[in-house]
A and B are shown apart, each in its own frame.
Chain A
Amino acid sequence: MIATATRPLLEVKDLCVDYLTDRGAVRAVDHVSLEVRKGEFLGIVGESGCGKSTLLFAIARLLTPPAEIASGDIWFEGNDLVSMTESELRHFRWKQYSVVMQSAMNALNPVMSIGEQLRDAFDAHQRLTGRQVEKRSEELMRIVGIDPVHLRSYPHQLSGGMRQRAMIAMALAFTPELVIMDEPTSALDVVAQRSLMLKIKQLQREFGFATIFVTHDMSLVSHFSDRLAVMYAGQVVEVGETRQVFADPKHPYTVGLMRSFPSITGALQPLSGIPGSPPDLARPPAGCRFHPRCPHVMPRCKVEEPDFYAREADLVRCFLFDA
């Protein structure tokens, strides 16, 4: 499942994204570094305001003002995405990497049928005959589990789950190497959500594309992702193999987050969640950003920002692990 290629498919190095407000620049993503290998499923988990969606949009080069990439690099298959112009990016978009948004109703054109939108996507990126487009569209619909007859349907005629699948079909139109997904299941009910996750994982195994899956619900990705990155207040605080992170969470925030999910099996225990709330990114706390809410806070945490420390193939941004 994890390819042994030497160079990762995607490398994000020290990325910083700022929002320019009239109160000054607010840093939504602070020095984030990540890698994704070929065929790997990376989950990015965090609550609202942690910067995960901003990070995703930055990687896909879809940021609009007032947000902008302030510094850092994004290397995709050895190409520097940050310095590329729109026309250069067009070569990459959809063919090498594609994006699935949170809400299909916002991303799909309500006045065009699904088939027409697929055809639009094809026409924009490749020269195919009408017959080829038709064949490919039907194939894509079948792959995601929608009856091809719905190529003629409009988005509002499909159920929420089917719309999301249509979006995924579009994202896979050119069998890209990387598919970026921003909470594609959050607008769905629990059963449709589970069904869609299984489908995504199945497709990923079949076609071998890498995935970056952003969500606020840790348990959702627990069975599907190879590696997991936990974000808090614009920074990555823990990253490692999913099974490892779940079995033995290290960063106090990750621990707290895990303790916030009541379970339907096993003994009923009182949970405490995490007291307080995420900081205002316009005025982040000094030192470690989590220190005001941390049960293990030390004096050092209030003044110094911790670096990443390695512990059993995981990386943790916490002084507790500064061996």
Chain B
Amino acid sequence: MAIRVVTDQAPIQAPTVTGRRGALGSVARGLTRNRKALAGLGVFGLFVLVAILAPVIAPYDPHALQFDQMLQPSRAHLLGTTGTGQDIFSQLLFGTRESLLIALGAGLGATLVSVIIGVSAAYMGGVPDHFLNLFTDFFLVLPTLPLMIIIGTYLNNRGLVVLIGVIVITGWSYGARQLRAQALSLRNREFLEAARVRGERSLYIIVFEILPNMTSLIVAIFFGAALYAVLAAAGLQFIGLGDPNSLSWGTMLYWAQANGALLAGSPVWVLAPGLCIAALGGAFALINYAFDEIGNPALRPVRRRK
């Protein structure tokens, strides 16, 4: 029996899960204090702005074919033109929309599935937990790229929804494991028992008592899933499994590769979307690191005070 005597005052070390504005408030506060988070959020914010303002900023219609082909970057065309005479810069700006949509949509979808499966497994326990675990593990060990390729090839519809669907199917299992682990550790906390003894229904307990205590992890998983989505989408589109007529960074890469951009001396056509993908992915990764640091003070950068 471990009867520990608890401090009868606010502890000296900064408490981890607290906040003046509740769960989301404390997440927001933690993020704004962290340099990595700020950098990541900054880059992400920039892309969001670009996506919204694309029609305003872009000099030309991205689909317009009236320009000379394979032009080098110049004042008229900041990043040059494609093999079919489209302005790369405008394409990049408009492509941000779809790429962001895929990243956030697939990220959200994967996170939703992870939460439902992971938390339900932890809450139900026993045999249902056992089977959900098996289910999760099955998806966890499936090789994602081959699976995506197979699904992508079999399905005739190459639209956005299918793309997002494929990413969600292959991407949810990782988060589910983590969420289940945290939900299990929460399960023994007395405030959940108190809620049950108070007479709350199970669904209420899961949604209003368990989930709010997991916001930090859920948000972190979302960004992790979004990161995975960015790269997975780019990969799928690059090898031609996306819709080649849509406009996103990945399809730009596809067309660049199809037209032999590097060999033909137009590296910008490849580099521009590639760097954007890397930048957005990097932004999500930075935010993810920030969550690690917020959760585990031992990882925080030491600020020297003298």
Which residues 1-47 of A sit at the B interface, judged by CB distance below 8 A? 19-22, 26, 28, 47
A48 touches B12 (CB 8 A): no
Least Cβ–Cβ distance between A231 and chain B, in angstroms: 14
Beyond A20-B305, A103-B2, A186-B3, is A281–B12 a contact (Cβ under 8 Å)? yes
Query: A residues within 8 A CB of B3?
Result: 186-187
Residues of B near any A CB (own CB < 8 A): 1-10, 12-14, 303, 305
The size of the chain A interface, using a CB distance under 8 A, is 22
- Whose C-beta in chain A lies nearest to the C-beta of B13? A21
Query: B residues within 8 A CB of A216?
Result: 5
A48 touches B7 (CB 8 A): yes
Bound form: Cα–Cα A216–B7 in Å: 11
Query: B residues within 8 A CB of A279?
Result: 9
A280 within 8 A of B: yes
Query: A residues within 8 A CB of B5?
Result: 47-48, 186, 216
Sample of 5 further A-B pairs with CB below 8 A, known A22-B303, A48-B5, A277-B9? A103-B2, A160-B1, A186-B3, A186-B4, A187-B3
Query: B residues within 8 A CB of A280?
Result: 9-10
A277 touches B8 (CB 8 A): yes
Query: B residues within 8 A CB of A277?
Result: 8-9
Query: A residues within 8 A CB of B305?
Result: 20
1/0 per residue, CB under 8 A from B, across A256-297: the answer is 000000000000000000000111111000000000000000
Least Cβ–Cβ distance between A161 and chain B, in angstroms: 11
Q: From the candidates A28, A47, A160, A189, name the one contacting B12 in the complex (CB within 8 A).
A: A28
Least Cβ–Cβ distance between B189 and chain A, in angstroms: 20
Query: A residues within 8 A CB of B6?
Result: 48
A176 within 8 A of B: no
Beyond A186-B4, A187-B2, is A49–B9 a contact (Cβ under 8 Å)? yes
What DSSP secondary structure best describes chain B's contact surface?
loop
By Cβ-Cβ distance, the 8 closest A-B pairs, closest first, are A48-B7, A277-B8, A49-B7, A187-B2, A48-B5, A216-B5, A19-B12, A26-B12
Query: B residues within 8 A CB of A281?
Result: 9, 12
Q: From the candidates B1, B2, B7, B14, name the one contacting A22 in the complex (CB within 8 A).
A: B14
- Whose C-beta in chain B lies nearest to the C-beta of A66? B13
- Whose C-beta in chain A lies nearest to the C-beta of B305? A20
Bound form: Cα–Cα A216–B4 in Å: 10
A187 touches B9 (CB 8 A): no
Q: From the candidates B8, B10, B14, name the one contacting A47 in the complex (CB within 8 A).
A: B8
B9 touches A278 (CB 8 A): yes
Bound form: Cα–Cα A277–B9 in Å: 7
Least Cβ–Cβ distance between B131 and chain A, in angstroms: 31
Bound form: Cα–Cα A280–B10 in Å: 7
Query: A residues within 8 A CB of B13?
Result: 19, 21
Bound form: Cα–Cα A49–B13 in Å: 12
Least Cβ–Cβ distance between B89 and chain A, in angstroms: 44
Can you list 27 pairs linking A and B with CB atoms under 8 Å apart?
A: A19-B12, A21-B13, A21-B14, A22-B14, A47-B5, A47-B8, A48-B5, A48-B8, A48-B9, A49-B7, A49-B8, A49-B12, A103-B2, A160-B1, A186-B3, A186-B5, A187-B1, A187-B2, A188-B1, A189-B1, A216-B5, A277-B8, A278-B8, A279-B9, A280-B10, A281-B9, A281-B12
Least Cβ–Cβ distance between A178 and chain B, in angstroms: 25
- Whose C-beta in chain B lies nearest to the C-beta of A160? B1
